[in-house]
Amino acid sequence: MKSTLSKWQLSLKGIVAFVSVACVIFAFVRLVTAGGEDAAIDTMRNAGWFVETYSINEVRVPGFVRVRCRYASRVSVTNYDLSLGRPTRVAVEGTPALDGLKRCSGIRRLDVAYTDISEESFLEMRSLREVNSLDLSGSPSTTKRVMKELAGSENLQGVTLMDSHLADDDLLPLSKSNSLRMLVVEGDVSGAFLSGFEESGLLSLCLVSDKLQPDQLVSLNRTKVDHLFLSCKPAEIPIDALPETIRRVRLFWDKPLDDEDRGWLKAVHEKHQHIYVDVSATDQIAVIAWYRA
């Protein structure tokens, strides 16, 4: 009996010792990780990037260590203003700041617009599935592969893709996202990709394309979009394409409105009594799209 009890006590001591060692190792790893992200924030700021942070007190191991950790919540590389014209691309590839960006784990708002960040670098970011607002405008990382990865995120709510060369097939993967609410796209699209967004949670859409085919907009009728921005002649938009939820339509069109356009506007207001429709010059596209993002 004493022999059995002694063995049991030894086993219990071994388990306690193992758990204690494991906790110490875990604490060390977490401390190193926190220190690495803190250094990454300083590196990005030293490169001139805009970085918002938040700090929390974390108990790494109960009864052992309490650490105040700093994390990046918002990162903007270029801090551009499209009202001043479209910026030139900023070189970030191969820089310590980009390495720091990859290490950050909790970024919620990310703006890498008009940078040369590659597809590979973008996909290496630890925060990829945490971001809820993303601007990839004018970036070479606007690829179909990246769109597929973004579609798998449960947190992504808004994406801005100005100055892209995306086609309809490239954008289709985004229709699989359950969290996406705002999409701004400027590319070589006809609008065929919209068929994938039927019954989606999309609420705001800005679509700018010289290849836009208004008849493809009919798919919007089965969405919940309430804000719509399009670059086309007003009268070419099928009235039946506007969903019941629509509240605002802004069109980019340089030519004076003709009788056909005015008739379209009247019909739209008769069908959607609470809708607001306005027409702007195409040189306002970039400014308005940037503001929406």
pLDDT in tens, 102-132: 999 999 999 999 999 999 999 999 999 999 9
The pLDDT of 150-174, averaged and rounded, is 93
In a domain, 22, yes or no: no
User: φ, ψ for residue 147 (rounded to 5)?
Assistant: -60, -40
In a domain, 32, yes or no: no
In this predicted structure, the answer to whether residue 208 has a pLDDT above a threshold of 60 is yes
Please tell me the total count of domains within the chain.
1
In a domain, 199, yes or no: yes
pLDDT tier for residue 158 given thresholds of 50, 70 and 90:
very high
In a domain, 3, yes or no: no
DSSP secondary structure letter of residue 124: T
CA–CA distance, 97 with 39 (Å, rounded to integer): 10
pLDDT at 225: 96
pLDDT tier for residue 11 given thresholds of 50, 70 and 90:
low
CB 90 within 8 A of CB 113: no
Q: Tell me the CA end-to-end span of the chain in Å, nearest whole number.
A: 73
pLDDT tier for residue 284 given thresholds of 50, 70 and 90:
confident
CA–CA distance, 196 with 180 (Å, rounded to integer): 13
In a domain, 31, yes or no: no
- CA-angle at 293, arms to 93 and 166, nearest 5°: 60
pTM reported for the whole predicted model: 0.83
In a domain, 79, yes or no: yes
Domain region containing 283: 73-292
CA distances from 30 to 124, 242, 288 (A): 20, 51, 43
In a domain, 47, yes or no: no
pLDDT at 7: 52
CATH number for 197? 3.80.10.10
Residue that has been written with the tokens 């002694």 in this structure: 6
In a domain, 37, yes or no: no
pLDDT > 70: what percent of the chain?
79
